Structure 1
Amino acid sequence: MTPKEKHQEEQNELKTSRINRILESAFNLFSEKGIDTITMNDIAATAEIGVASLYRYFETKDEIAIRTAIWAWNKQKENIMPSLQGKDYEALTGYGQIEKIFEMFVDLYDTQSTFLRFVYFFDSYINRQKISYERLFDYEGMIATVQDVVANAISKGISDGSIKKRYADCQCDVYFTTMHSLFSMAQKLSLSANMLAMDSAVNGTAQMKLLAEMLLEVLKN
């Protein structure tokens, strides 16, 4: 490697490090206070860089919000995908794979409340800002990689007889209904689990487990 190439590599590594620090800082701010109230100055200060430097990497807050969402989902993907790959997972029936995926939603609620809060604030921000589908293409692609794993498990379960064949013609509906139910409850509990006195009657983890069991019972052949 020539001195010029080494210098360029070091510059690229520095740029990547700064961008990751910016995205992590934005994620922490957005998940705590929402996106609307956070300014570019807030993000720059938390990332410990000048606001002018921030604008060299990201031209708008919309751009930072979208890139932060991709970054956050990628972090989750890095955590969950190893458990949904390999011989042990492949040896499970389709129902067994879905059961494992649902268990991961309970763990998501228990350990990743900050992520769940961020996604709630991000979805709300995207709708208010009326950001186009085209600008969310990469974000949607990141989520689609997780969707494929769940969809494949549903399809396998119908084929191997572990999931009711009545769902063969509406597999997409099964995916969205189950995933939205689990994710929405996890978000609701993360945002306001103890807002009212009655909310303490059953703890959040127990509610997540019960919902997963109910959905599994419906699917099981």
Structure 2
Amino acid sequence: MEYKKIIENAKNDRMNEAVEAAAELLLQGNVEDIKMTDIAEKCGIGVASLYRYFGTKGDIVAKAGAVLWGRIRALFDGVFESPYFLDKSGYDRLCELMKVFRVLYISHQDFLRFVDSFDRFAVNEKISPEALSEYERSVLDFYPLFETAYRDGVKDGTTKPDIDFGLVYVSVTHALMLMSEKFSRGKVFESDAGGEHELRFMVDMALAYIKA
């Protein structure tokens, strides 16, 4: 029994190493272009073992993507639990939370490019909902913070009580992420206002709609 436990622990360690290697590669290039052989070379695990551990490229990419989303969430550990944040009104907390998108655009454009690339890959490869479940949970990890702030805002009178906040959150998040992804690829036209300016404008519109 002890021997089996040692083997299982070793396998888990190697799987974690493979996921970490995949996560690093995902920040460096398009998901479509990364091969299982690249991941195998990066982590020093045979390709056959990778397929045995994960089944498909989609499975390991989804797990690595969840790790990357977890790292982004970890950047804000303690911030949204601090007295400075919690003592604000519900609306003011939403204003603070919206700054997450600005942080991503300014400091984590490699992550934004990954999200864009992953979305395309997931659709093209028809990755199953089961394989995407962990990734989806990581993506939605921010939502409870927004919802709690909104509901507290309804209680303190700073946010509108008669809106579908879940729909607002999904719509605004999708719009801001798509804009961030677009501008992370670089400016196309000289007439473009610029990513940060347009993001701030979209955030201001969303907050104006929510504010009581």
Q: Deviations over 1:53-89 (max 9, x none)?
A: 4334323201111111111111111112421113222
- Among 211, 217, 220, which residue is 2:208 paired with? 217
State the secondary structure of the residue aligned to 2:68.
Answer: helix
The structural deviation recorded for 1:185 is 1.4
2:191 maps to 198
Moved over 6 A (4+): none
Tell me the distance in 2 between the aligned counterparts of 1:96 and 1:103. 11
- Find out whether 1:182 has 2:148 as its counterpart: no
The structural deviation recorded for 1:50 is 3.2
Deviates more, 1:108-117 or 1:82-91: 82-91
Q: Deviations over 1:90-121 (max 9, x none)?
A: 21111111100111210111111111111111
Q: Structure 2 vs 1, CA of residues 176 and 33 (structure 1 numbering), >3 Å: closer, same or farther?
A: same
State the secondary structure of the residue aligned to 1:80.
Answer: coil
- Find out whether 1:23 has 2:14 as its counterpart: no
Tell me the distance in 2 between the aligned counterparts of 1:36 and 1:217. 39
State the secondary structure of the residue aligned to 2:60.
Answer: helix
The residue type paired with residue 209 of structure 2 is V
Tell me the distance in 2 between the aligned counterparts of 1:90 and 1:104. 16
Tell me the distance in 1 between the aligned counterparts of 2:96 and 2:61. 31
2:54 maps to 58
Tell me the distance in 2 between the aligned counterparts of 1:43 and 1:111. 25
1:155–1:171 Cα contact (<8 Å) kept: no
| Amino-acid identity (%) | 30
The correspondence of residues 31-180 of structure 1 with structure 2, limited to 5 A, is 31-167=27-163, 170-180=164-174
1:34–1:121 Cα contact (<8 Å) kept: yes
Count of matched residue positions in the alignment of Structure 1 and Structure 2: 210
In structure 2, runs of 5+ residues without a counterpart are none
Which has the larger share of helix? Answer: 1
The structural deviation recorded for 1:137 is 2.1
RMSD of the TM alignment (CA)?
2.5
Tell me the distance in 1 between the aligned counterparts of 2:11 and 2:200. 42
The structural deviation recorded for 1:161 is 1.0
Q: Structure 2 vs 1, CA of residues 117 and 219 (structure 1 numbering), >3 Å: closer, same or farther?
A: same
The residue type paired with residue 179 of structure 1 is T
The residue type paired with residue 39 of structure 2 is I
Deviates more, 1:58-67 or 1:131-140: 131-140
Tell me the distance in 2 between the aligned counterparts of 1:99 and 1:16. 41
Tell me the distance in 2 between the aligned counterparts of 1:196 and 1:17. 47
1:70–1:142 Cα contact (<8 Å) kept: yes
The residue type paired with residue 134 of structure 1 is E
Tell me the distance in 1 between the aligned counterparts of 2:12 and 2:78. 24
Tell me the distance in 2 between the aligned counterparts of 1:79 and 1:198. 34
Tell me the distance in 1 between the aligned counterparts of 2:156 and 2:204. 20
Tell me the distance in 2 between the aligned counterparts of 1:15 and 1:82. 33
TM-score, reference length from structure 1: 0.82
State the secondary structure of the residue aligned to 1:42.
Answer: helix
